[in-house]
Structure 1
Amino acid sequence: MPREITKGIFWVGAKDFTLRDFHSYWTSRGTTYNAYLVRGNRSALVDTVKETHFDQLLRRVETLMPLEELDYLVVNHCELDHMGSLEKILSLAPRAKVIASAKGAEGILLHFPGLSGREITVVKPGDTLDLGGITLAFYPIPMVHWPDSMATYAVEPGVLMPNDAFGQHYAAEALFDDEAPKELVLRELQKYYASIVDLLNPVPVRKAIEAVKSLSPKIIAPSHGVIWRAMSQDVIALYEAWASGSVEVKATLVYDTMYGATEAMARIIEEGFESEGVPISVYRASVSDFQEVLADTMVSRGIIVGGPTMNNRLYPPVAFFLEYLAMSARRERLGFVFSAYGWGGGAEKDILGYFEQSGIKPACELWRVRFRPTDQDLSSGLEMAKAFARLIKGG
């Protein structure tokens, strides 16, 4: 069933409880594809859903009105999890006028060349559409997270529909933030920011946040996850903090192992941090959710990475994580590298190369062991870890 967000605005999207992979990220709680029907004297559908979930959207819209009577279809973002049902909807709503940003219009026609004869209204920042009782205002927010991205603001009720911004991969019976566990949805917000929004130049994100703050929305209705009605200002503040590049006095350690050497080294580093009272999160790359890992590396002053050498290169699960880390926004972070090798080595060179790409400054001596760490190796590593932890505290 559709749900009313505020007078005249309804959630008509779809829930995907079984989704477990999204752009190679593990989505353990599924996701939603949120779409919104705005009804004044005229009607507008803001975003659609993934094509596989079109039937859910259709049922919810037609509970409220015949789809063929739809007046406008707003495309905030032309990625197919939001625009996948566009062609089907337009085939059933022949009079609906399509609205998008300039880049959005370009993306629509590249995805759906069969719509080349369909008129698309291109909107600029601050353009409005009067639906009779509710006014929609349009604010392009390029690179949050594609060049075409746009936010739609329902002026009178103060409802912002910013597509991917402020989203989370979270599917549940809860539709609003105050119906869901607070810490859980805020963690999902952080994971989503780290894996989707933070993999970009932060300047456009900061500009988008300023635009959102100037509107002071009462409700933020993103395209994934819960709708923020109780914590709308809180999530804006979190985005502002994350986009600022600030980090916390903590470390994230990511490693993997083949025969246990680097795992023993990782545990000694963890012990050193605990003895210095510095928080540390430890992840084994091959069995960890990278969204969780990136959420922690995003706010950690210390980044610790280790792995074994395999055929003169870094063990692939660790390299896979570092590829994602290299795409994230630059921050003032310090690095610590450890590795194990048998004959020629090589893992440490790859890690240092990724650190350079990621803007992470190596801040202590490289820790290497051959085959298995001896008691002396572990004792030395413990002291190195303590020294690095103190550096994190003092920085």
Structure 2
Amino acid sequence: MQITRKISDDIVYVGVGDKRLARFENLFPLPSGVTYNSYLILDDKVALMDTADSDVTDQFIDNIETALEGRTIDYLVVHHMEPDHGANIKRLLDRYPQMKVVGNTKIETMIHQFFDVDLTDRMVIVKEGDSLPLGKHELTFVMAPMVHWPEVMVSYDKTTKTLFSADAFGTFGDLDGALFNDEVDFPEDYLDEARRYYANIVGKYGMQTQALLKKAAGLEIEMIAPLHGPVWRSNLEYFIDKYQTWSSYEPEEKGVLILVGSIYGHTHRAADKLAAALKEEGVSKVKMYDVSKTDVSYLISEIFKYSHVVLACATYNNGIFPKMADFIHDCQALCVQNRQVAIVENGSWAPASGKLIREELAKMKKMEVLEPQVTIKSSLKKEQEEELCQLAKVFAQSLKEGE
């Protein structure tokens, strides 16, 4: 059974949603699944925009065959070689012997790395600004290296003013039969997953994402067709603005994110006291997570969202509590920066996590540590409660100054 929809008169969505996959890249939880988007342009020449993951090959091929109605594919445009989009390249080369592959030189190299194929007379190499005429449609190619692999490119169809954006503007989550952004409540149901996708997959490459956004700003875009998530045909400025914010490492919202690494609960109770004190100081947005219970991909998404962060952390084997250390390591790897951070440390005989966290934060850009640092020995005492209240006042004042 085919499942296809048109995104314009002669461009058909032939992608597939997958609710069965447990973890994206075998790493990031997918409670709502993911889509593998692919698009078929039916013009004088037929162009398929990317393939799909091997797990959905049968449905993907069925969608293509139904949309083709007996025609063949003239061009397979490969924007990104990651296997969730490129897994079916060889299968399509075998199935459509007249089909040529369109990509840049790095894409050609990666095709040979993934597949044992002969591309003699079947590879069309393109570079920045090159065009591919299909008839009424003409694709212009824009290189987007490191968003988020080095070979990535995007393409622009001037006829429909569509940007085929590769992994840029992608979102975790299956769409439950929807296709377009205005068919879902994106801010309510998908924004968090869009941020989690960006922060964990593309977040390290903010500078490269900014470069692509500058190129895209010179195009008249009315529709964005990414490789994951909904096709954007309305309110494009909303999502583009999110990408501007995330890729510049600016906080999306003013608020306090409290992350807790607690062994027996004493550090967590201190964090609870701080959260209550923040509320008493009029801080409206306070979000708390236990780093041992929440997958780190969600924590990374939240630190991309909030302006202020509290790391409440027990000392473990004279070091940082391991789950907190993992989170900080991920922050460093993904270039998290430009946040205001406070530290609450705990240790029964030699509290050391605070000093060690400061050393790790010093390796990152524009991470301002707010004082006072609160030190707990085993359990929260009355004098530390007052220190936590003072820290809450510092946070409240800092948030007001940023308004």
When normalised by structure 1's length, the TM-score is: 0.94
| Equivalent residue for 1:153, pick from 148, 152, 156 | 156
Shift of 1:11: 0.7
Greater than 3 Å deviation, 4+ residue runs: 113-119, 289-292
Quote the RMSD (CA, aligned, Å). Answer: 1.9
1:176-215 alignment, distance < 5 Å: 176-183=180-187, 184-200=189-205, 202-215=206-219
- Matched with 1:239 is 243
Deviating more after overlay: 241-250 vs 281-290: 241-250
**Structure 2: runs of 5 or more not aligned:** none
The one-character-per-residue Cα deviations of 1:131-183 (angstroms, maximum 9, x if unpaired) are: 11111111111121111111122220111111110010110221111111132
Say if 1:114 and 1:7 are closer, same or farther in 2 by CA, change over 3 A. Answer: same
When normalised by structure 2's length, the TM-score is: 0.92
Distance (whole Å) between structure 2 residues aligned to residue 164 and residue 120 of structure 1: 22
The one-character-per-residue Cα deviations of 1:66-99 (angstroms, maximum 9, x if unpaired) are: 6882111111001111111111111111111111
Deviating more after overlay: 273-282 vs 91-100: 273-282
- Matched with 1:349 is 355
| Equivalent residue for 2:230, pick from 210, 226, 233 | 226
Residue 91 of structure 1 pairs with residue 98 of structure 2: no
CA contact (8 A) 1:101 1:122 kept: yes
Residue 269 of structure 1 pairs with residue 274 of structure 2: yes
The one-character-per-residue Cα deviations of 1:253-297 (angstroms, maximum 9, x if unpaired) are: 111211011101111221222122222221111222434322331
1:108-187 alignment, distance < 5 Å: 108-115=111-118, 117=120, 119-171=122-174, 172-183=176-187, 184-187=189-192
- Matched with 1:371 is 378
Query: Would you say how many aligned residue pairs link Structure 1 and Structure 2?
Result: 394
Shift of 1:37: 0.7
- Which SS does the other structure have where 1:287 is aligned? coil
- Which SS does the other structure have where 1:114 is aligned? coil
Residue 82 of structure 1 pairs with residue 88 of structure 2: no
What letter corresponds to residue 223 of structure 2 in structure 1?
A: I
1:60-75 alignment, distance < 5 Å: 60-65=63-68, 69-75=72-78
Q: Percent identity?
A: 28
The one-character-per-residue Cα deviations of 1:11-34 (angstroms, maximum 9, x if unpaired) are: 111111122312422222110000
Distance (whole Å) between structure 2 residues aligned to residue 20 and residue 348 of structure 1: 35
- Which SS does the other structure have where 2:218 is aligned? helix
Shift of 1:115: 4.2
What letter corresponds to residue 246 of structure 2 in structure 1?
A: W
